[in-house]
Amino acid sequence: MDEYANEELEEAYDALSDVTELRKVDVTEKLIVNRLYYACFHAARAALHTRGFDPNTHKVLSPYSAGRSSRRATHPGTMVGF
């Protein structure tokens, strides 16, 4: 993996580490879900980058979910050959 992907994975692991620490203190579920979201977001950016995509925004997957509501998940089998 290249430097960009490694940095994104480091961000993902940091966000997961935050979740572990946040669960030890009294915080809202919303804050924990936020950190989980960013862990997934950064891991996805690393995966997309290693497959030749330029994941610069949250909208990088929009061409692969055309015709679908943004509130509904896209089946992983339909996205960029995952």
Single pTM value for the model: 0.68
Checking if the pLDDT of 62 tops 70, the result is: no
Q: What is the pLDDT of residues 1-47, one digit of tens each?
A: 899 999 999 999 999 999 999 999 989 999 999 999 999 999 999 99
CA–CA separation, 63 and 79 (whole Å): 9
Per-residue tokens: 41: 């977001």
